[in-house]
Structure 1
Amino acid sequence: MEIRCLLTQQQLDEAAKLSDSIFRDSEQVSMQAAFPGVFSEALGQSYGAFDNGKLVSFMGLVPAVLRIGEARLPIYSLGSVCTHPDYRGQGTASEILTKILEHIDRAGASLLLVSGGRSLYTRAGCCTYGQVHRFLWEEGQPLPSRPVPEGTVLRELAPTDWFRLYELASGRRSRYEQSVWDLAGLIHAEALSTCYKLQHKVLVAENAEGDLLTFAVIGVPYSDTPKREPHLIEWGGAAEGMPALLSYAIRTYGLKKLNIPVPWHEDKLAAELAGLPCNTGKATGTVYIVNPERLLGHMYPYLKSVDAGAADSLRITRLEDGRTSVALDGWTAELTVQETVSMFFDPAPEFQAPEELKKRLSALFPIPFPYDAGLNYV
């Protein structure tokens, strides 16, 4: 068995066929169309296992840069993980994952986001993280609303809107870096939506002066048998414009339900949706911290903007046993992998440490992390 990056388009085409055979049916487009970064010859990041030249197992790997305030985090996302039925149970996926973790460390990444939480990933150190409020509107419920300013127009995206849409998207404090081209390509690819048999509708709220106030990317069914109810995929701009846009989507596309996931730090949108039924839980997938010292270094510009004194005093060190040493203003603690993830990302972190250290760390954390199941889902 040989494990290596898939460097040729022919190999990537074979990987797409394997992925489609496991994850797609006749009503769904190929994974290759929905996840172009996974099957990109130009990027050449994804890995496969070959038995005498035949691709038998595959893992899609896509690099990205997250912006959190002034901080820039180089990260990877892992998805489209599949093994031919004849080769399962032989440890091949674990071997590929080991190669991938070495790859992303050499590349200088801070994090790996994984669209799954099975034991293959948790054994390697991937952990649940964060907090997402999942609001659900159903037919018969009133949707919270407020009067829109006079002259506001609610409509679908027009071909002349891309620059203004980009400005709204890039104005978010916590986001993936996206060029105009990236934004258009991701909306067109419909990555997560195709998994649920949904298609994207892009709606905008425009004021009387022609400025875009808010946008929303919503997945609506294209099949009589969708795998999930309609879903808010991504949004940006003024939170107070979202109820009107969501009401417009419900009327325009005849929706009976609408799932509205809101990460914990998007408190303004959560306030606008108060009154709808809501379940709160972890993010969709899991996260792997490649190197805690490196993550701290990449996050420093953001942390300094939050509390410069604490950011300058904080020290994080990875220990030989995999635990993490955390020191701040003379207080110290040693955290497990899961505790380290919780410290960085959870609004209600769970880790053992002196109360004074927890109090001081709460001035810096948690990190307001972008939603992991939006346009950049892998």
Structure 2
Amino acid sequence: MMEIRIVRENELNEAAALANKVFRSGMQGDMGAFFPTLFRTGISHSYGAFDPAGNLVSFMGLVPVQIKSGTGRILAFSVGAVCTDPQSRGLGLASELLNQCREHAERSGASLLFISGERSLYTRAGSLAFGRASKFVIKSNSDKPLEVAGETGSGSATATVRDMIPEDIFNVHNLLQQRPATIEWSLQELQQFIGSAPYAGVSGLRQHIRVVESLTGQIIAMGVFAVPMDPEVPEVEIPVTGAPPTADADVLRNGHLLEWAGNPEAMPLLISDAVSRFRLDELTAILPWHDAVLSEVLQQAFQVRPDNQNNAGTVMIVDAAALITQAGFSEDGQPDKPVISVLTDSQFELRIGDHTIPINGNSELCSVLFDPESPVLKPTGLSENPTTVQLPYMYGLYFI
């Protein structure tokens, strides 16, 4: 008989060992180092399944997160590092762990579970694709350094690009907190994620943080990049120009912009520098829908059009009433404000001006709250969705 319960602090090393067995077999890197919020001591929220001998055979990582969205604050949990020992698969353990995590989140006052995955395990339980994002692929010209079309307002004559140094931590934290939708990092949490580099680590990439500094010494923009490792060149000495090592001649060097903050007009300079410095063949930048200014800047600067996609992973609504309140759409007496009322566990009603729109189930509620072009609102004839909640892209510097 399996025991399903919270993983205790003294069992986290065993959980990390199981995650390494499942995810890192034959690969470099340690899940415990990539995900300290899951596998290091603190308050454990994660759940596990233990066999009769007390051995951990299945694990589901659970981490609390607060997201600032406009004037609202979304309380949520992130699910990741989900793994089961091969000899214990097929017993429905992961499904039971997901049920426990959902109930834990609801008891905590959270409204959402963000899940790093799209497996049927999650979608069968009600997890949904969510949000909108724009995917840019900026290609390098191998014959000459990447050129930026047009003026960015922060060109090399007025600004410089350099690595982030420890003394930048307050400025970088401040830039991130000024984003309209952001993880509510403490300084300690930000430093931890910078050091552990979870997305880059599990992707076999190396993380670099670069900043744009004005002539007066002010940091006006920052970017977090994940780029291919170069075993023949120390990471801080990768030259701006020059051919890749012979062994990598036929391998594309693809990088990612994981996070950005600051002046969007300075980002083409930062991206061009990264493509050149890290000798990338192309760089992918995925921007949540509300990064409209930067989206326009990149289209003009690099003459590239984005592809539309959802935000990363899936999301499960664990408490619809709490979500409506946290997003700021509950009844509070403010005139002309969109209001969503809970009619039953699966029925809601949206009132916008003279319009009353029924919302049937969590799928439509997810669409209304996270899709700026929600088809549920088409009967209103509104050109914009006034109820869209801004969320950060969930596979960025923060990644569980």
1:2 and 1:56 map into 2 onto residues whose CA distance is 10
Q: Which residue of 2 aligns with 1:96?
A: 97
2:139 and 2:382 map into 1 onto residues whose CA distance is 40
Q: Give the one of 302, 324, 348 matched to 1:324.
A: 348
What SS does the aligned partner of 1:366 have? coil
The count of residues paired between Structure 1 and Structure 2 equals: 370
**Within the alignment, does 1:297 sit opposite 2:321 as a pair?**
no
Pairing 1:142-161 to 2, within 5 Å after superposition: 142-144=147-149, 146-147=151-152, 148=154, 150-161=157-168
Go from structure 1 to structure 2 and tell me whether the alpha carbon gap of 1:244 and 1:25 turns closer, same or farther (over 3 Å shift).
Answer: farther
Q: Which residue of 2 aligns with 1:247?
A: 272
5+ residue gaps in structure 2? 232-247
Contact 1:326 1:334 in 2 (8 A): yes
Q: Which residue of 2 aligns with 1:371?
A: 393
5+ residue gaps in structure 1? none
Amino acid at match of 1:339: E
Pairing 1:189-338 to 2, within 5 Å after superposition: 189-222=196-229, 229-274=254-299, 275-300=303-328, 308-311=334-337, 314-317=339-342, 319-320=344-345, 322-328=346-352, 331-338=356-363
Contact 1:317 1:326 in 2 (8 A): no
1:28 and 1:323 map into 2 onto residues whose CA distance is 48
C-alpha displacement of 1:180: 2.0
Go from structure 1 to structure 2 and tell me whether the alpha carbon gap of 1:286 and 1:105 turns closer, same or farther (over 3 Å shift).
Answer: same
What SS does the aligned partner of 1:109 have? coil
Q: Which residue of 2 aligns with 1:355?
A: 379
Q: Which residue of 1 aligns with 2:29?
A: 29
**Within the alignment, does 1:42 sit opposite 2:68 as a pair?**
no
Pairing 1:60-139 to 2, within 5 Å after superposition: 60-139=61-140
2:111 and 2:148 map into 1 onto residues whose CA distance is 39
Deviation readout 1:45-70 (Å, 9 max, x if unpaired): 01100011011100000101100122
Deviation readout 1:4-63 (Å, 9 max, x if unpaired): 111122x11111111111111454321111111112331210110001101110000010
C-alpha displacement of 1:318: 5.8
Amino acid at match of 1:281: Q
1:278 and 1:97 map into 2 onto residues whose CA distance is 34
**Within the alignment, does 1:51 sit opposite 2:34 as a pair?**
no
Amino acid at match of 1:76: F
1:67 and 1:145 map into 2 onto residues whose CA distance is 33
Q: Which residue of 1 aligns with 2:235?
A: none
1:91 and 1:371 map into 2 onto residues whose CA distance is 30
Amino acid at match of 1:344: L
TM-score between both structures, scaled by the size of structure 2: 0.86
Go from structure 1 to structure 2 and tell me whether the alpha carbon gap of 1:126 and 1:228 turns closer, same or farther (over 3 Å shift).
Answer: farther
Root-mean-square deviation (CA, aligned residues, Å) is: 2.5
C-alpha displacement of 1:317: 1.0
Contact 1:199 1:222 in 2 (8 A): yes
Contact 2:347 2:358 in 1 (8 A): no
- Among all aligned residue pairs of Structure 1 and Structure 2, give the percentage whose two residues are the same amino acid: 32
TM-score between both structures, scaled by the size of structure 1: 0.91
Contact 1:310 1:364 in 2 (8 A): no
Go from structure 1 to structure 2 and tell me whether the alpha carbon gap of 1:316 and 1:223 turns closer, same or farther (over 3 Å shift).
Answer: farther
Contact 2:253 2:280 in 1 (8 A): no
Deviation readout 1:147-204 (Å, 9 max, x if unpaired): 5254311111122211111111111111001122221211111111112111111111
1:271 and 1:34 map into 2 onto residues whose CA distance is 34
Go from structure 1 to structure 2 and tell me whether the alpha carbon gap of 1:244 and 1:296 turns closer, same or farther (over 3 Å shift).
Answer: same
Amino acid at match of 1:234: E
Go from structure 1 to structure 2 and tell me whether the alpha carbon gap of 1:259 and 1:143 turns closer, same or farther (over 3 Å shift).
Answer: farther
C-alpha displacement of 1:367: 1.2
2:34 and 2:343 map into 1 onto residues whose CA distance is 37
Q: Give the one of 174, 177, 201 matched to 2:181.
A: 174
Amino acid at match of 2:187: V
